[in-house]
Structure 1
Amino acid sequence: MNRKSLITISWISFFIGIFIFVFFSKEKTPQMLLLNIFIAGLYTFVLSLGNGFVNETLSKRFSWVEETRKRVIFGVIATILVNVVLVFFCNYVNFIIFQKQDFSGFFEGNMGFNNWFTINVALLISAILHAKSFMEEWKKSTRKEVVEQKLIAKSANAQFESLKNQLDPHFLFNSLNVLSALIDENPDQAQRFTASMSKIYRYVLEQKDKELVTVEEELDFAKTYCNLLKTRFEDSVNFEFQVDEKEKKSFVVPLSLQLLLENCIKHNFATAQKPLNIRIYSENGYLLIENNLMAREQVKESAGIGLSNIVQRYSLLTKQNVFIEKSKDFFRVKIPILTQKITAMTTQPSHESIAYDRASKRVKELKGFYGNLISYCLVIPFLIFVNLYTSPNYYWFWWPMLGWGIGVASHALQVFGIGRNWEEKQIRKILEKENLKK
């Protein structure tokens, strides 16, 4: 316990001692004033230090965030046991040692009532300390979650933008290389290629800033791009499209087919006698680009933008992998077809966002429970005091104490009960099914 807490406890002891001296003490002497302040300090320091020690010890052993249920269960058990012992100790010092009363009446009559009443007050103090500890721990946790979410989102967005920005100059550079070759080989084809390239480049500019496009849009663009390649290579390259109609409304990353088609051309030689056959088809939720393998020697090292760009962009959008298969006869790339249109900002931290939302909801539930418990601990002792002061022969306080107590117990079961495990399991199952769909 820090210095500030000790000063606070000292002031509380001082004012409680004065209050008891003014309103309840029969002897108005300086000695009695000091005795009341001392006894108030005895109760305040013993109960506060004892409960503070229990609270700090439990918080070190069990986290409010990670082990909430254990923290509450052990907290309730330890708090009740410790407070009963501390209250009996303080009352023994007060009544038996200072007031010289007979120990035989310690658990009955006025001393018995004082024991019971003081235990309730001590439990109230402990509940406040535990609630304060709980709120501080969850505030730290939520602040940390918010900071982590911002960092993840910024990092993912920056990385995604960087990858997309590779596409524009990359496509332009490769298209100009093709055009340069055509100018020498066939000027008329070069002119038609230039006109077609302007249309395709417009698509590149429109789509490169999007996270996802429909399979249908990407196929239409790929067919136009294949016509360009046909213009240059003529019968040396053949293209085949076999994509299910039901897959065309789903989504892929933009310009993925263009990059993969370009990859096929760049790494394979093709002649009219031995044409390069490129097939684009769908299978089991994937879009496949396959070509017969006729690898050419690389004069210079590849920049590696094509495949790595696609793999990285998909990794930022989904947990589904891009598969690359190679044999002596073929080379195949499988890219996932996504069923939901998502964005880089929401897909990468999806599990963290869900956890954060659930944590926020959990905080509200626990705040409601502790508010209910603290209210109960405050109001019931007051009602007992009013009952015993106004009508000591009829104990009506049992009715609100039992009725409200059942409500508090029901609230505790709702917040910490067995049903919550079932609910969390169902939520987990639903989330896993949604992830599999992607």
Structure 2
Amino acid sequence: MKRKNLITLFWISLATSLFFFFVFTDEKSLDNFILSLLISFMYSFILGMGNGLINDFLNKKLPWSEATTKRAIISIVSILIANTILVYFCNYMNFVIFQKAATTEEYFSGKYNYINWFTINVALLISAFLHARGFMEELKKTSKKEVVEQKLIAKSANAQFESLKNQLDPHFLFNSLNVLSSLIDENPRQAQKFTASMSKIYRYVLEQKDKELVTVEDELEFAKTYCDLLKTRFEDSVDFVFDVKKEDYRRFVVPLSLQLLLENCIKHNFATSSKPLIIKIFSENDTLCIENNLQAREQIKESAGIGLSNIVQRYSLLTKRNVFIEKSKDYFKVKLPVLSAKPNVVSEKIEDTDRAYERAQKRVKEIKSFYGNLISYCIVIPSLIIINLITNPNHIWFYFPMLGWGIGLAAHGMNVFAIGKNWEERKIREILEKQNKQ
């Protein structure tokens, strides 16, 4: 047990011994005070430490967060057995050894069964409080850990998305300058036109690279301008075919995806007037396809893989739909998902995390309310039992508040831990998942 718990037990033992000494002891002597102190320390430390050690052991071997139901069953069984044994031992030491009020035969004959039963109930209430407190601490740690993990995931996704978008600017500029350097030697006049057009295209890159999604129409207009530049350089060696459905124009794709894929087509295939490279951009089953006849060139230098992998990763952060790649002996095709709505998954993750944190806070308040109720029950009911037994032992009335409040406490616990909003949300998710599978 922790030092803090031992100190708490010490003060509880001292307070209990003083209470019983001044209230229930007729002869106020030093011997009786020491006896009262000894008995109080015995009950407090044996019952408190016994239940505390059981709770600590179960926390290590079977944490609440890993197997809640199994842990609850084992906790109930263990505290019933342990407290029965510990109470019988403490009462035996008290009445037979210290006070010498009974012999061993009288103690086990059933004369003290009522006192044993009463003490066991008090011990069980205290033990239930300790285990409930352990459960609450474990739940708070788990909830806090989950919230922190979700925030880290959201921040990581956001940082990853920004990193991917930042690849586009230098990547486009590098490839465009390569094209321009080739044109300067081959056709200076075309190089001038290319420079003017490149400034227009680069403006689009700067405008769109910070966006998560753009319309298919905007991306096609940009792709056509870029294809004109490629046509300027390669002339009859490259041909472009656009066949995108008009209804797809107002839908969305990741920005600069067509430009990256067009670059890949040029980069990984050879193109000549006798064997032109034909690049098709068309609609197919809610996807935007970029297909080229396969004329693979030998790669002197291994590709960095920025283009296609960038697109795949950006789509993975924005939607559950995948980018599909098809390759055969004759063609190479990439299918980009065309999205009907404009999702904002990164910000949604952060919002979902904030909502999860709010739910976690609300959950902790509900649990605190329950344990406040439980602590009150553990304090008030034993006090009522003591008052009843002292004032009118022939008329037992403490059963009524104990049972009534106990039923209410059980209902409160069931609402918080079993059939509350958490259970409702879980059932709603199960129903929605079944409907989605149909």
TM-score by length of 1: 0.83
Which residue matches 2:137?
136
Structure 1 pair 273–249 and aligned structure 2 pair: CA distance change class (3 A): same
SS of 2:212 mapped into structure 1: coil
- Mark the CA change 1:432 to 1:351 in structure 2 (over 3 Å): closer, same or farther: farther
Counterpart in the other structure of 2:10? 10
Work out the CA distance in 2 between the residues paired with 1:81 and 1:301: 70
CA distance in 1, matches of 2:248, 2:415: 45
Gap change, CA 1:133 and 1:169, over 3 Å in 2:
same
Structure 1 residues 284 and 226: alpha-carbon distance in aligned structure 2, compared to 1, 3 A threshold: same
SS at match of 2:325: strand
Q: Which residue of 1 aligns with 2:33?
A: 33
Instruction: Report the residue type matching 1:118 in the other structure.
Output: T
Cα displacement (A) at 1:397: 3.5
The question of whether the paired residues in 1 share the 8 Å contact of 2:13 and 2:41 is answered with yes
* Equivalent residue number for residue 378 of structure 1: 379
Shift of 1:381: 2.6
Farther-moved stretch of structure 1 (87-96 vs 184-193): 184-193
Alpha-carbon shift at residue 7 of structure 1 (Å): 4.2
Query: Does the alignment pair 1:414 with 2:415?
Result: yes
Per-residue deviation, 1:267: 1.9
1:129 Cα shift?
1.9
Give percent identity, aligned residues only: 64
Deviation at 1:354, TM superposition (A): 8.6
Q: Which residue of 1 aligns with 2:85?
A: 85
CA contact (8 A) 1:117 1:381 kept: no
| Contact persistence 1:149–1:353 (CA under 8 A) | no
Paired residues of 2:288 and 2:335 also in contact (CA < 8 A) = yes
TM-aligned CA deviation for residue 219 of structure 1: 2.7
Q: Does the residue aligned with 1:166 lie in a helix, a strand or coil?
A: helix
Distance in 2 between residues matched to 1:394 and 1:264, nearest whole Å: 95
Q: State the match for 2:291 in structure 1.
A: 290
Secondary structure of 1:132's match?
helix
Q: Structure 2 vs 1, CA of residues 79 and 300 (structure 1 numbering), >3 Å: closer, same or farther?
A: closer
User: CA 1:377/1:253 → structure 2, altered by over 3 Å: closer, same or farther?
Assistant: same
Greater mean deviation of Cα atoms: 186-195 or 220-229 = 186-195
Amino acid across the alignment from 1:165: N
Deviation, structure 1 residue 194: 2.7
How many angstroms does 1:150 deviate by? 5.0
Conservation of the 8 A alpha-carbon contact between 2:92 and 2:107: no
Give the Å deviation of 1:222: 1.9
Tell me the equivalent position of 2:309.
308
Question: Would the alpha carbon gap of residues 147 and 355 (structure 1) be closer, same or farther in structure 2, given more than 3 Å must change?
Answer: closer
Q: Does 1:20 align with 2:13?
A: no
**Map of 2:182 onto structure 1:** 181
CA, structure 1 residues 415+81, in 2 after alignment: closer, same or farther (shift >3 Å)? farther
Q: Name the CA shift for 1:266/1:66 in 2 (closer, same or farther; >3 Å).
A: same
Listed one character per residue, the Cα deviations across residues 58-116 of structure 1 (whole Å, up to 9, x for unaligned) are 2122212222232223222322332233223222332344242477688989x555434
Unpaired stretches in structure 2, ≥5 consecutive residues:
none
Deviation at 1:34, TM superposition (A): 1.1
Aligned to 2:344: 342
Tell me, yes or no, if the aligned pair for 2:212 and 2:255 is still in contact at 8 Å.
yes
Question: Would you say the 8 A contact 2:136–2:367 is kept in 1?
Answer: no
Give the deviation of 1:20 after TM superposition: 1.2
Contact 1:163 1:309 in 2 (8 A): yes
Contact 2:287 2:335 in 1 (8 A): yes
Partner in structure 2 of residue 65 of structure 1: 65
Contact 1:64 1:71 in 2 (8 A): yes
Name the structure 2 match of 1:325. Answer: 326
Look up the equivalent residue of 2:56 and give its one-letter code.
E
Q: 1:8 to 1:414 in 2, by over 3 A?
A: closer
Answer yes or no: is the 8 Å Cα contact 1:145–1:356 preserved in 2. no
Deviation at 1:173, TM superposition (A): 1.9
**How far 1:25 moved relative to its partner?**
0.2
Change (3 A) 1:16 1:380: closer
Measure, in 2, the Cα distance between the counterparts of 1:222 and 1:433: 40
- Which residue number corresponds to residue 237 of structure 1? 238
- 1:332-382: CA deviation from partner (whole Å, max 9, x where unpaired): 1123344551244655x9998898777666545544433333332223333
Point out the more displaced range, 315-324 or 274-283.
Answer: 315-324
Q: What's the CA shift string for 1:308-337, capped at 9, x where partnerless?
A: 222333344445443322211001112334
Match of 1:427 among 429, 434, 438: 429
Distance 1:213 1:120, change over 3 A: farther
Closer/same/farther in 2, CA of residues 43 and 246 from structure 1, 3 Å limit: farther
1:333 aligned counterpart, secondary structure: strand
State the superposition RMSD in angstroms: 3.6
- Contact kept in structure 2, 1:268 and 1:293, CA below 8 Å: yes
Q: Give TM-score, length-normalised by structure 2.
A: 0.83
CA distance in 2, matches of 1:167, 1:428: 41
C-alpha distance 431-232 of structure 1, shift in aligned 2 (>3 A): farther
SS in 2 for 1:290: strand
Query: Residues 52, 312 of structure 1: CA spacing in aligned structure 2 closer, same or farther, 3 A cutoff?
Result: same
Equivalent pairs counted in the alignment come to 433
Q: CA 1:344/1:104 → structure 2, altered by over 3 Å: closer, same or farther?
A: same
- Checking the alignment, whether the CA contact within 8 Å between 1:107 and 1:115 is kept in structure 2 is no
Distance in 2 separating the partners of 1:350 and 1:314: 20
Residue pairs, 1:255-266, within 5 angstroms? 255-266=256-267
In the TM superposition, what whole-angstrom CA distance separates every residue of 1:236-260 from its partner, at most 9, and x where no partner exists?
4333334445544444322111100
Contact 1:270–1:276 (8 Å) recurs in 2: yes
